[in-house]
Amino acid sequence: MATTTPTTPTVLHCRDPLNERRVDAHFAAEARQLRAAGGTVLLIDHDALLVGDAERGVARVPEGAGVVWYRGWMIPASRYAALDAALRRRGGELVVTPEAYRRAHELPGWYETFAGLTPVSGWLPAGPGAVPDPEGLEALAAGLPAGAAVVKDYVKSRKHEWDEACYVPDLAAPAALHRVVARFVELQGEFLTGGVVLRAFEQFVTPEGAAAEVRVWWRDGVPRLVTAHPDSPVAEVPQGIEAALEPVRAAVEALGCPFVTTDLALRADGVWRVVEVGDGQVSDLHKEADRAAFCRLLTTDQTPLRTPGPSGTTPA
């Protein structure tokens, strides 16, 4: 699974929407760390990519850029493929191929590989604004264990609208299922990706004094960094998380993608579960995560797994 990226990488960052010469403020600290480590930062127009103008999106990327990483806001898989094609016309290419990006970024791409480590799931393809009919939803629900479920699309949920657009208390109540799915589709609007996913609900607990969810960053099948999930108000990572990673490591290796994140949560029975998989290029960092340690993920130096210390920083 090894890549041929240089030890001083070139990274495509999203430009600031108000200043085409600056990195988007959300990623500016990462870009500074990358430059300090000898890496090269190039700017792309994320808004242009989203509207289908990949050529304008890469207009500031010089010819012959070679092998590059992307690091920025999420891009639909089809737009990511267009980005790769536009770069290739300019003598560049993405480290993560469009195929690998889709495999890690969208649930149908990674679900089978992680079966047994993640809640039972099923999905129905659907476009933005298209609510699956009640019969289709009932058939989908029949493939899940009895009880509660959560609704999402191939990439995102609406967990902040938990009761109205995410949580289904009982899959055996078709009217309630359809109502939650319809509200989810409505709120996602044009950003609905791939279709509607149902995932069996599992009861998770929060380790004392630590984040409820942790994000593990994998480079070429190696767990290189563990951080709190970016939504966590707590930066501390639970002690002993490394011991839970061996079965996850096997799945990440089987997935065959160069840069992957896995989000883990502790089930009430004490088992760590994979609740989400993502492409590392578009996975967010916790605000207190060590940006320098993150930037080292983009080199070929396979440093050991590192977890934040007591202050939220990464130990030396």
**Residue linked to tokens 């990519």:** 49
pLDDT tens, position by position, 254-296: 999 999 999 999 999 999 999 999 999 999 999 999 999 999 8
Q: Residue 165 pLDDT more than 90?
A: yes
**∠14-15-20 over CA atoms, to 5°?**
160
Q: Of 20, 114, 87, which is closest to residue 96 (Cα–Cα)?
A: 87
pLDDT value of position 301: 53
CA distance 311 to 299: 26
User: What is the pLDDT confidence band of residue 298, given thresholds at 50, 70 and 90?
Assistant: confident
User: What is the pLDDT confidence band of residue 305, given thresholds at 50, 70 and 90?
Assistant: low
Which are the contacts of 123, defined by CB distance < 8 A and separation ≥ 6?
A: 107, 108, 140, 154, 194, 195, 196, 197, 198
Question: Class for domain 204-296, per CATH?
Answer: alpha beta
Residue 282, classed as helix, strand or coil, is helix
The structure tokens listed for 302 are 């396979």
Q: Please state the domain extents for the chain.
A: 10-95, 120-200, 204-296
pTM for the structure as a whole: 0.91
